[in-house]
Structure 1
Amino acid sequence: MAKFVSYIAHDCYAPNGTSVSSNSSWISQPDHYTVNNTANKFTIIGCDTYGYVSGTRLNRNYSTWCIATGLGYCQMPIPKDTWFVQVDLYSFGNYTNVSDFNKCGHGFVAEETVFSFSPENFTNLRDVKEFPMVVDWGIENKSCLEAQNNRSSYACKSSNSECSDPSNGSDYRCFCKKGYKGNPYLPHGCQDIDECKDPSLNNCERHCENKEGSYKCSCPKGFALGIIALIFVACWTYFEQRRRKLIKMKQTFFLQNGGLLLQKKLKKCDRSLLEMVKIFTSSELKKATNNFHESMIIGKGGYGTVYKGVLQDNKIVAIKKSKEIDPSQIEQFINELIILLQVRHRNIVRLFGCCLETQVPLLVYEFMGNGTLYENIHTEDKLRFLSWEKRLKIAAETAGVLSYLHSAASTPTIHRDIKSANILLDALFTAKVSDFGASRLVPMDQAQLSTMVQGTLGYLDPEYMQTNQLTEKSDVYSFGVVLVELLTGRKALSYDKPEKEINLANFFLYTLRKDRLFEIIEGNIVSDETREQIIEVSKLAKKCLNVRGDDRPTMKEVAMELDALRLGGRNSWAKDEDDQEEIESRFGEGLDSVSFSDDYSDSITVQDDGYVGIYELITLKNFNF
């Protein structure tokens, strides 16, 4: 902006109404200059005066008028983009009806801030000839965008300048950026403003540090170092106390969950076992499960929650987190854990290790990608992949595992909770039995499905429930229910069905008695090729479901029967000598090499490939009810 001189127009009369003196005021701006429309005002002063301000804007003529009525004062703005201004004054009655003290009218275009109206203006303006007027100016009749396209003629030369398209006029202008002052039209014209030297330019309370184009408020160096040191000490103290508290809590949980007992017993074991077993830290498993995030949950039940985890070596595992554990069962849990870590079998889910420094022990298993047999049987999307051949293979493999456990030379082992949900399937639909030890970790106040007579309703041996006498034949009954699930695709208990169909085992035996077997067999597994095998497996299931345990076959006999069916035979354990030797080689060989000791310190070997999962061991000679 710039300031030009603007002359005052006046119109004076004698008492008789004769004009004494009169003049108009005009100003014409040179190229690239316009009258500022916000800083200037058109003003008329006089008791009998009106005036016109006229001129040229945007190459067109304009005119506006103002009447000094009332107080004898009138003021109005100037239009935008005006470069020529003329002020003309007139009188309504040549001041004949006006007091003698004021016989003149005055008009002007001037900077608003230099003039403030008062009654004295009627007389004292006689001696004033001019006022300043604010004008805007620009470089060239172009916008900033157009001007910047030609760098050679672009006027904003300073690197700290910026271009502005004006609101009044059509020529672009240059300004120094915020924090700079000077001439933006010179290469080094805009210089940094030191705001720290002028308190009005900064709001710092203590120390001001000047920066290029700005400033920074900071504390004195000594003060700042003291604050930083104080914050550092406070943070270190907080995190150190938290770390110690966490360590103490982990140590408490480790002792509470039998960690010392486990370490003591592991020292007595074979070196190869020590290399095979891992005691995980809680931080390892938190990292593996993204801090036990909900998205990592792959299973829930009365026992707790199972998470999918990815260990540091990218091995995928399943991590079981129980709801609670009975403190009185800790020693037995550790003893069984030692035994189970030594047993390996290709059809038992392998236990990699455990974590004892959490509120409840965490068990780490191998991950089974195809889920449980229960899910595959009772989920429509998965059911179509479960052919009869796969079902027969799953049944044979599960029976083989139970045969091993029951035939251990030193101490028979009973699973106690055989059901389709405890049979897992890998990517090739190989069956692997799991959750042998789940009953030891089940909350003690749960009494619906997993009862004090440990097992699951629908699979529980009725003789065991009545007598509390647990034998290996209890597993045989439960396995029989699993066979019926594989045959029918129905659940062990279905409360949404008619009363006689609620219990699958009872309804299956009823249909056999009525000779209506194929009414409940799942339709997509029945064909001319499978019909005979289905009948044989149904007969075997019926034998397993005998009410009296003594009338049921052993798991070894069941396994041999199923394997014979897979090899093409039909009869059970009454095979010719050649077939019998082949079956014995698959199920009987190596059984005498399985051994257990009372203090759980002797090693256990099984002549088979694969791994073992956590399960509950029950010795018939020590089992008390």
Structure 2
Amino acid sequence: MEIRSLLLFTLLHIPWTLSYNFTSIYSTTSFAEGPNIAKPGCPSKCGDLSVPYPFGIGIRASCSINHSFDIKCNSSFDPPKAFLGNLEVVGISETQIRIKNHLASICNYSIDNSTFALDLSGTPFSLSNQNKLTVVGCNHVSLMSKDSKLDNYISSCIAVCSKPQELSDGSCSGIGCCQASIPKGLQYIATAMLLLNNQSDNDNFNPCGYSFLAEQNRYSFRASDISDASFVKRTMDTVPLVIDWAIANRTCNESSNIICEGESVCVDPGTTIGGYRCNCSRGYQGNPYLSPGCQDVNECEFNPCHPKAICINLPGSFNCSCPPNYLGDGAKYGSGCIFLPPPNKTALYTGLFIGSGLFILLAVSLWLYKVLRKRRAKQLKQSIFKQNGGLLLQQHISAHDLVLGKMRIFTSKELEKATDRFNESRILGRGGQGTVYKGMLSDGRIVAVKKSKQVDENRLEEFINETHLTTKVQGTFGYLDPEYFQTSKFTEKSDVYSFGVVLVELLTGQKPISTSVTDEEKSLVTRFVLTMEENRLHTILDSQITEQGSKEEHLAVANLARRCLKLNGKKRPTIREVAMELESIRACENPSCIESNTPDISFMEEESSQFPDDGSSQTQNTFRRVNIC
């Protein structure tokens, strides 16, 4: 028989009855304890079940917060039983109620009891996801839908087996028993119990299959449940159905009239139907829905402190403290209270005196040790300094201060830092006296540091004397600033001179140094200055230059180059002034503009020009080197 053909049935709303006392299992909670459980003038118990407000006993008796929370107490039972509508209530807690369960079944291929429906629509109640859809049987399936048409399934479970030997107690993973989760917040469910096939091999040991909602961890499968005739009654009596409840249908933020009383807080239950609940603050208990609200719990009544400790009850808390001569936190499960015998004052004073004396003696000894160690290190340093020629080095520095400039002696730490701990990559060369490293001082100066291989007193003077060296400055001689020969220094105006040479090159089309003319005419700068003094600039200009531009432009650029070639660097323009003048020459479109923007230039020589005539581009520059013994 196909599964879809078995879905032709009628959903049954079956009144539930109670035949087992659940009170000892579910009804005792802090919510249902204290003097203010029910509303004043209303009963608080139905049989053995405590009924706390907002629930109330009596239909429209004004004992509950609203009619949805009315509990009917049926005294025809012994003891009386509580009903919420037609649902038998077996337990009430701060967040949930538990009702008596009902099972759908298929026995001997009969589907008369194979359906079950629960409708909580329009109430502040919804199914808890602590329930599990459970199926017990062989080749049985249960389908759960959230509508009466059974075409919107939300959960399903299949249990299969072929012989009793396959079943195992406590296992509900699909062999003889299966469980499946359900969504939270459902207010309507309909379940259908189906048989997968018509095999009759299992009829002897499995005549029936069952489907029900079971509170999680409340049902434990037994292999005998497959054929046990008392299974239905035992399950209904011991496995309840869990339902969540909340006040109204708005959350704490949405509600304008929250009924939470003193020392309680409003919390959102997190259900899909909304609503809120009231919880007592920590350290308080009672009914948060009834005035005066939650009451402070006297934790000291529960003996939370160590037997020797003193317990002090505080609002919402407590404090444990140890009496005099006891040490500890006073807590029963903490460090407790440990007895400390009264101290002997004489022994205490003696100990303090001896301890203070030892401390002072130790401090003085440590200070003396550091002073002596520092003095010894200083003496040792001076001794090594003298041994390595330090006095000779100082005499050498004093004798050459005027010639070499101010000099200083560097410490080994400074030289290690300058040479990156004498890194191999810093080596400039090696010699008989030692190894020379390239270093950089903290002020950015580059130095050469010579580290001696060994100390030879006979060669100390030779080693110390090598504190300076000369290096060759190489380049094209024709661009070199003449001031360098006098000062051995390059300045910003040196670049201006070199740029002036470049301008002359562009104007004449010739190189700075010529090898095809006489010694007197080797220097292009000399020849250029001479032609300008003799007012025959046109004789040295390149033909391509004369064909382009005007004479005024040629003269303006030539005058600018002449100013850049002044022997006195202070009389040369800055490189910025040169750039501005070139820009102004280029911007002028007529000769008068160029004349007005070009300063008067005197071609009279202001200082004598002395150029070497050997074409050499080498001179001498001082480079500092530091020796390390």
TM-score after normalising by structure 1: 0.38
- Structure number having the greater helix percentage: 1
Higher relative contact order, chain-length normalized (CA < 8 Å, sep 6+):
1
